[in-house]
Amino acid sequence: MLRQFHSLPGLIAALFVIVLSVTGAILSLNPALERAGSVVVPATGQISVAELAGKVAEHYPGVNQIERTPLGTLIVYYTRDGQMGADRVDPRTGQSIAAYEPSSFSAWVKNLHRSLLLDMPGRAVAGIMALAMVVLAISGALLLAARLGGWRQLLRPVRGTLIQRLHIELGRAAMLGLLLSGLTASYLSATTFGLAPEGVAAEPEFPMEVSGGPPAAVDTLSALKATDLNDLRELVYPYPNDPTDMYSLSTDQGAGYIDQASGEWLSYQPHDATHRLYEFIYMLHTGEGLWWLGVILGLASLTVPVMAVTGPIIWWKRQQSKPKLAANSGPNAADSIILVGSEGNTTWGFARTLHDSLARKGHRVHTAPMNQLASGYRGAKRLFILTATYGDGDAPASASRFLARLEKMSNTPDLPVAVLGFGDRQFPRFCGFAKEVEAALAAKGWPQLLPLDTINQQSPQAFTRWGDAVSKAISTELTLIHTPTRPHTTTLKLGERVDYGADVQAPTAVLRFRAPENGSQPSLLNRLLGRTGLPPFEAGDLVGILPPDSHVPRFYSLASASKDGTLEICVRHHPGGLCSSFLHALPVGGTIEAFIQPNPDFRPAAGKAPVVLIGAGTGIGPLIGFIRHNKAHRSMHLYWGGRSPQSDFLYEPELNTYMEDKRLTELNAVFSRVSDSAYVQDKISVDAVQLRRLIEKGAQILVCGGRDMAASVMAAMDEVIAPLGMDVATLKAQGRYREDVY
């Protein structure tokens, strides 16, 4: 619901909001430019309006009016030789600084900003857009707080794709400015349409009589002597030689008429409080009178066009990735609820099979991501949770907030639950997240429909068996026949391979694939256009490869980015392993079927902070990619472990080149089958002092490789940073310790 509140107005408003924000940003420069160009404003108490008028009279005998802008620029309007003119003048001397020429561009931009050049209908649209901006800023803040785990966590690093991070980081930085702009603009619009009070600007009574004496010199008039220059808004002079006319003076506090002979007020009316509030809000919106606020609001406005583009892209991607479910009932109308935890989307396919099967038997089914766990399902009789496991027994993307939500639930619904885990027995924490979910539900006292069951490698047979158990539990005959949808793949051709490690029983190959149509070299035009024929990916993302005769992909971390023109992986041969055997036997020119799974969390964070890369064996894959792309020569330190420098020193020549050209700051390679045998965690303990120094400088740590290595590295690192009063868990929470473990 909150997400809809955020995305609907965002989508509708995107275009208008871009116009309003860009024009707002341009206008916001005006006060700062004016401030930069105007002479120093005398402090309060230094010059009275009478003194100023006296000095102006010396230079402008035909002065008609003196105006002071909110930032203190003084403009004198005059008649000279029958010609009207206006000058900016120095308040201390009354002398001209330059002719006053208001910019017609600025006036046009203001008109576009206020009314989209459409007068009242345009003003109405601009007002509605201002309100949309308020809704967006508030709903965005609520969404972000929910995503990061509460208001106190609002400044925590965010995860996600580049587009998501851009949207969130900019929104977070500009949130208060945009809220202020939106709220003040909404108020100003409401006053235009009489929906909010503008208050009464002083309208003094027009005097029926004047003293009629000879005009006194302007610098002797007592009412002007009593008015400070900093309070002046406008002084309009009487018609020359008209003894019945008078001065009209408008100040920050009020307005009135002054007798040109006696210098006394003939009438005076102060502004009312509501009008002063209106003027204050006007100043907050425009920065007129507060130039630095104008600059801040202008900068905040500049984020809007970026967010107006990234927002709809995020929305569109979310719509695309949503599973297409026939007849998905609402959470309170359904009798059967299915919650799905998935990262690569295959679990959604199984969920759909269950959904359709239940629906065919007349059930009303609601299927949603686990992150959308509701506090209650009014009409529900059963809950199914189908979830995959990622990382090292961690939650997949669509279930990342499930456990926190469950923890917050005060009442446990009387809703029997069946958890089905999807995983791969090659991972030691097989279906680890499903087990965690089962335990958390049990701890909450949730009734059980069926005990936890698990599915290895997306086995359709195991799913059918689980379906039989469900049929019995709910007394409805379900036939769960699931045909796994083959992922949409791209054919790639092996262009080059380098083999290592055969002598130390660690056969490892670096494989470089290309798009088959330009298997040799992409044409010059395609290279200029950045077209490589490869799907887009970055080093650190995953490639899913389908071995022949299998619909179940195996994943490898990518050592290159698509812009390099090759897809590079580093594969160790596991005896009996279906995919690694296939890849090791693949000749140059042979093809594979592959697809990309983004892994945006595993890559160096933006900025200049040092990066510590740690890995062993094929874990060097993504790490070499990060080093290769370190063109900015940011400080990068590699710790890597192999078996023998003669046999499996992966990427040795490249690493030496990167040391020479400073893409790599430090290379620490250790080997286990040599006389001074060491593992990578040993080297980390030895280098404790220097690693602590790097951590103190804000270093980020990226670990890639087998889970035993990762566990030992984490233990060693915990000891290294303990003297800093830190631990790896803290670094992880700050997004400064990331792992890609297999």
Ligand X SMILES: Cc1cc2nc3c(=O)[nH]c(=O)nc-3n(C[C@H](O)[C@H](O)[C@H](O)COP(=O)(O)O)c2cc1C
Give the residues lining the site for ligand X (CB under 6 A).
Answer: 342-347, 388-393, 396, 422-424, 427, 429-432, 458, 555
Q: Which CB, 369 or 413, lies closer to ligand X?
A: 369
**Paired tokens of 427:** 């991972």
Of the candidates 694, 706, 131, 146, the one whose C-alpha atom is nearest the C-alpha of residue 372 is 146
Shortest separation between residue 542's beta carbon and ligand X, angstroms: 6
Q: Which CB, 159 or 429, lies closer to ligand X?
A: 429
Shortest separation between residue 327's beta carbon and ligand X, angstroms: 22
Residue holding tokens 């901006």? 133
| Main-chain phi, psi angles of 500, to 5 degrees | -135, 170
Are 742 and 707 contacting, i.e. CB atoms less than 8 angstroms apart? yes
Q: Which CB, 555 or 679, lies closer to ligand X?
A: 555
Q: Which residues contact 485 (CB under 8 A, 6 or more apart)?
A: 346, 349
Q: How many CB atoms lie within 10 A of CB 205?
A: 11
* Residue 4 CB burial class (10 angstroms; 0-12, 13-18, ≥19): exposed
Shortest separation between residue 577's beta carbon and ligand X, angstroms: 15
Shortest separation between residue 397's beta carbon and ligand X, angstroms: 8
The number of C-alpha atoms within 13 Å of 576 and in the hemisphere containing its C-beta is 1
Q: Which CB, 73 or 346, lies closer to ligand X?
A: 346
Of the candidates 511, 639, 652, the one whose C-alpha atom is nearest the C-alpha of residue 572 is 511
Q: Which CB, 112 or 579, lies closer to ligand X?
A: 579
Shortest separation between residue 639's beta carbon and ligand X, angstroms: 22
Q: Which CB, 269 or 345, lies closer to ligand X?
A: 345
Cα 345 to Cα 343: distance, rounded to the nearest angstrom: 6
Shortest separation between residue 393's beta carbon and ligand X, angstroms: 5
Are 562 and 537 contacting, i.e. CB atoms less than 8 angstroms apart? yes
Instruction: Provide the edge-to-edge strand list for the sheet that holds 265-270.
Output: 96-99, 83-89, 74-80, 63-68, 232-236, 247-251, 254-258, 265-270
Cα 623 to Cα 614: distance, rounded to the nearest angstrom: 8
Q: Which CB, 216 or 711, lies closer to ligand X?
A: 711
Are 539 and 622 contacting, i.e. CB atoms less than 8 angstroms apart? yes
Q: Which CB, 268 or 430, lies closer to ligand X?
A: 430
Shortest separation between residue 347's beta carbon and ligand X, angstroms: 3
Shortest separation between residue 596's beta carbon and ligand X, angstroms: 12
Shortest separation between residue 344's beta carbon and ligand X, angstroms: 3
Shortest separation between residue 556's beta carbon and ligand X, angstroms: 10
Q: Which CB, 203 or 708, lies closer to ligand X?
A: 708
Shortest separation between residue 113's beta carbon and ligand X, angstroms: 47
Q: Nearest-CB residue to ligand X?
A: 423
Shortest separation between residue 710's beta carbon and ligand X, angstroms: 12
**Pairing label, strands 417-423, 382-388:** parallel
Q: Which residues contact 132 (CB under 8 A, 6 or more apart)?
A: 9, 10, 12, 13, 17, 182
Cα 103 to Cα 106: distance, rounded to the nearest angstrom: 5
- 3 state SS for 221-237: CHHHHCCEHHHEEEEEC
Shortest separation between residue 426's beta carbon and ligand X, angstroms: 8
Cα 40 to Cα 92: distance, rounded to the nearest angstrom: 9
Q: Which CB, 140 or 617, lies closer to ligand X?
A: 617
**Paired tokens of 350:** 């199984």
Q: Which CB, 238 or 432, lies closer to ligand X?
A: 432
Are 398 and 340 contacting, i.e. CB atoms less than 8 angstroms apart? yes
Helix (H, G, I), strand (E, B) or coil at 567: strand
Q: Which residues contact 718 (CB under 8 A, 6 or more apart)?
A: 727, 728
Q: Which CB, 388 or 509, lies closer to ligand X?
A: 388
Q: Which CB, 370 or 478, lies closer to ligand X?
A: 370
